[in-house]
Amino acid sequence: MKNIFCVIALTLLVYSSCSAQLALPQKPVAEEPQGLVKWLTFKEAQELYKKQPKPFIIDVYTDWCGWCKHMMKTTYSDPGIATYINTYFYPVKFDAETKDSIIYNGTTYYNLGKEKKSTHQLAVKLLGSQLMYPTTIFTANNFQFNLLSQGYLDVKKIEPLLIFTVENVFLSTSFDDFKVGFEKKFYDTTKTVPLVKWLTMNQALELQAEKPKKIAVSIGTSFCNSCKVMNAANFLDSASAKYVNDHFYLVDFSAESKEQVNYKGTIYENIGANNFPFHSLVPVLTRNNFVLPSFVILNEELNIVDCIPNYISDKSMSLIIPFFGDNYYKKMKWEDYVKLKNEKK
């Protein structure tokens, strides 16, 4: 597989709320005892967080842990992984047996043990009863999201965890569901022809003029890996693909597109106006709430029915598509529809 973590998109520096392009590794460089990640203390990371919020990645280790050292020499010495972490995380290296007092998220923690290898209170707080090293903790959303991954993480294992955290996939999907889609997109070696018909926006509008149908627009960018995963992980079986093809024109719309689009009599294009580096149709379709990825439903008259922000798993998509395709949205609320579907299972 070619690297996903190559060059970090310059666009992200202009539009920081978007998802990041991962620069996945080439080959590990010469072994570095501390890796290539620019590690911070908890105090340093939290001070920086006050100025500019970013997720934390916390490496919980001990001096006697061989796999911890190995992870420093391999995964954290990979130039692509390290660059991505240094750019989009506050990386903290935490000795679970340190004797230092630590303030974390407003609470002070100590190591009250008298033995040399006694465990710090914060390690117990973060890891609970599962004191395993190394443990990697991904923290985001003002410390409300915490994901623990215990044991050694090689490059392949840490990739989806990084994307899941930075691109806010956790807001809508479990990691296990996302990981399945991630592996399908980036590591599945089988070559299959897509069952759904992906169109450009102009192709869909031309077909719409001849034969009106609803249009489903998946909005992404070249640097949004969760967008690519979402498109690859949905509509994989023949039944769901047929349903989508029968009821929708399915559009893969890049927010970076330079193509002119005539939508409801107005010409939209990407001219970089008002420091917005994306297509001018994007804020219209997303109702001025552009999140990556976004999934927009247009009815037969090209009116916006709904805009769904964030990553959509295949399980959720299997409910969303018929909700709009069969016009349930005209008769009931989403919550009642989900309840109805669950009752039929």
> In the prediction, which pLDDT does 190 show?
78
Query: Which of 325, 323, 326, 318 lies closest to 336 in space, CA to CA?
Result: 323
Task: Give the confidence band of 15 by pLDDT, cuts at 50, 70, 90.
Answer: very low
Choice between 235 and 18, residue whose per-residue pLDDT is larger: 235
Element (H, E) at 294: strand 294-298
Own/partner long-range contacts of 115-119 (Cβ < 8 Å, ≥24 apart): 117/62, 117/64
Query: How many distinct structural domains can be found in the chain?
Result: 2
pLDDT exceeds cutoff 70 at 166 = yes
Q: How does DSSP classify residue 74?
A: T
Q: What is the pLDDT of residues 286-309, one digit of tens each?
A: 999 999 999 999 999 999 999 999
pLDDT exceeds cutoff 80 at 194 = no
> In the prediction, which pLDDT does 32 show?
52
Mark whether 152 and 52 lie in a shared domain.
yes
Q: What is the pTM of this model?
A: 0.87
pLDDT exceeds cutoff 90 at 10 = no
**pLDDT (average), residues 3-11:** 42
Residue 152 lies in a domain: yes
pLDDT exceeds cutoff 70 at 8 = no
Q: What is the pLDDT of residues 232-252, one digit of tens each?
A: 989 888 889 999 999 999 999
Half-sphere exposure of 343 (CA within 13 A, CB side): 6
Q: What is the pLDDT of residues 209-228, one digit of tens each?
A: 999 999 999 999 999 999 99
Q: Judge contact between 127 and 135, C-beta under 8 A.
A: yes
What are the φ and ψ backbone dihedral angles of 291, each rounded to 5 degrees? -130, 145
The CATH code of the domain that includes 300 is 3.40.30.10
Domain end (from 166, 185, 211): 166
Q: What is the pLDDT of residues 92-137, one digit of tens each?
A: 999 999 999 999 999 999 999 888 899 999 999 999 988 999 999 9
Residue 223 lies in a domain: yes
pLDDT exceeds cutoff 90 at 311 = yes
Q: What percent of the chain has pLDDT over 90?
A: 79
Mark whether 209 and 160 lie in a shared domain.
no
Mark whether 83 and 228 lie in a shared domain.
no
Residue 184 lies in a domain: no
What are the φ and ψ backbone dihedral angles of 59, each rounded to 5 degrees? -95, 105
Domain end (from 124, 142, 166): 166
Q: Which residues pair with 262 in a beta bridge?
A: 267
**pLDDT (average), residues 14-19:** 35
Q: What is the mean pLDDT of the chain?
A: 89
Give the Cα-Cα-Cα angle 53, 165, 10 (nearest 5 degrees): 65
**pLDDT (average), residues 325-329:** 97
Residue 227 lies in a domain: yes
Q: What is the pLDDT of residues 36-87, one digit of tens each?
A: 999 999 999 999 999 999 999 999 999 999 999 999 999 999 999 999 999 9
Q: Which residues pair with 297 in a beta bridge?
A: 216, 306
Element (H, E) at 90: strand 90-95
Residue 2 lies in a domain: no
Q: What's the CA dihedral at 91, 95, 101, 107 to 10 degrees?
A: 50
Domain that holds residue 89: 11-166
Mark whether 158 and 249 lie in a shared domain.
no
> In the prediction, which pLDDT does 16 show?
36
Say how many residues make up the chain: 345
Domain end (from 166, 184, 209): 166
